[in-house]
Structure 1
Amino acid sequence: MCHTYCFYYIKKLIMAPSMNIAEYYAGKTLFITGATGFMGKVMVEKLLRDCSDVKKMYLLMRPKKGHSSKERLDDILSFRIFDRLKAENPKLFEKLQVVAGDILSEDLGLSPEDRLLIQEEAQIIFHCAACVRFDMFLRDAVKMNTMGTKKVLELAEGVKNLQAFVHVSTSYCRCELPIFEEKLYPSKHRPEHVMHCVNWMDDELLGHLQPKIIEPQPNTYAYTKSLTEDLVSQYEGKFPIVIARPSIVAAAYKEPLPGWVDNL
């Protein structure tokens, strides 16, 4: 996969200097959103294969088109990306546990039991879920990318032993800038104000104001990603945060399969 990562560390993560990545993940329990997407599938496969001592991964998935969350996981594991793991060590898939929920639902649609389970056991949260459509109506983009992230952040506040909250953003969240550095850029508007506005404005008014609201950004995706980074940064003092900014995602170079690409 062709991409680069730009990491902004808001709060330094505690990791022994001599510890490698696989050692860090050994015995850890993860909660992951967006595992059904391109980046999510790649990350789950890579973690299982190269950090095989990870304890467990809870994957947030919503039922879709008559298929339960568990059935969706079975479908995802049928992708060729997981063939190598199936051949080498299929027992690793036992570390995956589906948690039924939805980014767009109140409290992520989690049952009280599942919410408590995550808050008791999770140590690392990867928030990958997002809508990457460039032509999405502003209200829908804010609900998915910004409000959805807020719900995951609120869940994270109750996690007892949270060691890292990793928010997957994009290198194009401020694509109007000629030089983009590894630092936080305040968004044009306060996230709270925008979330409030899209809740009370009707479609006609919001559609009329949308070009003015998002400028100089070219689309609602870039705008809401910038807005959401600002929102995530507000939780700086509550738990360790990492913002990851992938660039353009294309076909895999070598891993997990040469030339592999999703959704084509």
Structure 2
Amino acid sequence: MAASSNIRSAITEAAARIDSATPRLDAELLMAHALGVPREAMLLKHLGNPAPDAFAALVDRRLAHEPVAYITGSRGFWSIDLQVGPGVLVPRADSEALIEAAVAHCPDRTARLRILDLGTGPGTLLLAALAEWPGAQGLGIDASDTALDYARRNADALGLADRAAFQRGDWLDGIEGAFDLILCNPPYIGTGEALGAEVRDHEPNEALFAGADGLDDYRRIIPALPARLAPSGIAILEIGWTQADAVSALVRAAGLMPAVRHDLGGRPRVVTAS
């Protein structure tokens, strides 16, 4: 890319080289990061300015399939922005279907919910839920110290540290008490399934794979849910789009009532248990 190019042309050239589902958006986010301004401000005010020298190196990282969120250090999710980096699962828009299901179950934003997030990662679901219910308290569980470090930093940055606790754990093992809302985005990819280089080479395998059929962690989590759900409580589980029947059967076997919700693409994305 020519050093004399302006921001508009540099973004266009980079987008033509980036191999992803959203090449233009990727290029815009990288350029905004190089400039140190929000993407919206860049698009409104800076497109005619010279492209910064730092942009080319960021594009090279993206061409090596490094996730944009790792390059920029952040990802927007629901109504919040989260710090992310190597060692944590990148928050995805599909997972917002869990928060949508939670809001549908409890539309009263004044509710003083007790929330549990299993496999919290950088705090994605728990912090989004706490932002939604200002009177709620929550606990995030993860087996990764790296993820928990990000989660605590995100809680601090969002002003939610007084309502969010995080601890290292193995799903529901050792968890006490009853929760009004249990959120969980467990690993659900089968070990033989093919993944793109962006996910396979960069994101943590322990947050992705769950046995040959991708169901191993559901088999551990779901039977333990009834003892941890408060009366009228609900558990909301993210699933792979082919897993609705299998996960629903596990929910029924645990004595709970399953329901399936879809993501914005119309694919089964959530199984609720109540």
Question: Which TM-score band (shorter chain)?
Answer: 0.3 to 0.5
Mark the structure with the bigger radius of gyration: 2
Of structures 1 and 2, the one with the larger relative CO (CA 8 A, separation 6+) is 1
TM-score with structure 1 length normalisation?
A: 0.46
Higher strand share: 2
